[in-house]
Amino acid sequence: MAEHQNIDELLAKYLAEESPEEDFSEIQDHLNELPDGNTVFEHSKIIWDASAAFQQKKPCDINAAWQKVKKQMSCPSKLEDHTPIVHLNEASTIIRPLSEKRVIPFKRVIGIAASVIVLMGVMLFLFWKPAPESAPLQESIAQEKVLNYTLPDGTKVSLNRGSKISYPSTFEGQTREITLQGEAFFDVAHDAQHPFIIHAQGADIKVLGTSFNVNAYSKQVKVWVKTGKVQVKKSASVMQLLPGEQAEVQGDDVVRSANVDANQAAYFSQSFNFENTDLSSVVTTLSQVYGVKVTLANEAMNHCKLTVNFEKESLENILAVIATTFDINVQKQGQNFVLEGKGCQ
């Protein structure tokens, strides 16, 4: 061990040009005694010369310099597999063939492993980029009245009272996804490459570009299509809907509705189409659309059938038409209305 440390110090002084000429013969003697002395010297000189180009001139610290050389020797440059010739000076040459099977010292194995780890770290630093953070979520909430809103992709949303949608400030990735609580009518901006997906009460409604209504106040989600095509999915149950069709999500099943309510989007359009509709259903729809309570004074009035269309009429005008049609009175109580009459048989 002492001899090894001695040759280390002599080589360091020689490479740093700090040793007298008479020390050279001692260096050569030590190298001749090592099984790969010529390789040790060659690697030392190559690494020393390469590192010297990056060092500023300063007083030579032999111990620190040699420790650096020994560390760099742990990862020597790849050499040709033939007999190396190392010139120590003009008058002396050491020639030693390499053995066919070389045993790499344990210290060098550790050095190579450390170098690989450092290289991997550099590669990660240069080429690894963290995944971009998702765009922050925005919320739109409709409380006292219907809220009309345009999403970042141009999709138009009419949000019914007591409803909320959550969506990113910008749509990124392969899909445009939002979450709905309550009821909303969507006029989706067409983008065949980025499907529009609504998550509502565990159901997923997927479209490319169409207009439809989603009622998701409760777990029994209802989807009605006005234009285009819509896919409704819950668990393993999937259904495609075309214009005028409606489906309901019941538990884990998607079921096509036999009776479609033509006025389910009236809360934002204020367009009504009543065709032989029970008066009890009429007042229920009016209450939902206008956000007030409209009731019938007696059960006999439930049997009255109404056939009429209204287009953006005020609630007072609609109730006046109903009162004239069935010869009933309209009583206003605060913000609410009560219809009184004999009813229909």
- Give the tens place of pLDDT for each residue, 22-73: 566 776 776 676 666 666 666 666 665 655 554 544 455 555 655 655 565 5
The low-confidence residues of the chain, meaning pLDDT below 70, are: 1-24, 27, 30-31, 33-135
Choose which CATH entry (3.30.420.10, 3.90.1150.10, 1.10.1270.20, 3.55.50.30) describes domain 270-340: 3.55.50.30
* pLDDT at residue 344, as a whole number: 84
Report the 3 state secondary structure along the chain: CHHHHHHHHHHHHHHCCCCCCCHHHHHHHHHHHCCCHHHHHHHHHHHHHHHHCCCCCCCCCHHHHHHHHHHHHCCCCCCCCCCCEEECCCCCEEECCCCCCCCCCHHHHHHHHHHHHHHHHHHHHHHCCCCCCCCCEEEEEECCCCEEEECCCCCEEEECCCEEEEEECCCCCCCEEEEEEEEEEEECCCCCCCCEEEEECCEEEEECCCEEEEEECCCCCEEEEEECCEEEEECCEEEEECCCCEEEEECCEEEECCCCCCCCCHHHHCEEEEEEEEHHHHHHHHHHHHCCCEEECCHHHHHCEEEEEEECCCHHHHHHHHHHHHCCEEEEECCEEEEECCCCC
* pLDDT at residue 56, as a whole number: 47
* pLDDT at residue 164, as a whole number: 94
Q: For the domain 137-256, what is the CATH code? A: 2.60.120.1440
* pLDDT at residue 292, as a whole number: 92
Q: Can you give the residue ranges of every domain in the chain? A: 2-127, 137-256, 270-340
pLDDT in tens, 122-148: 555 555 555 555 667 888 888 888 999
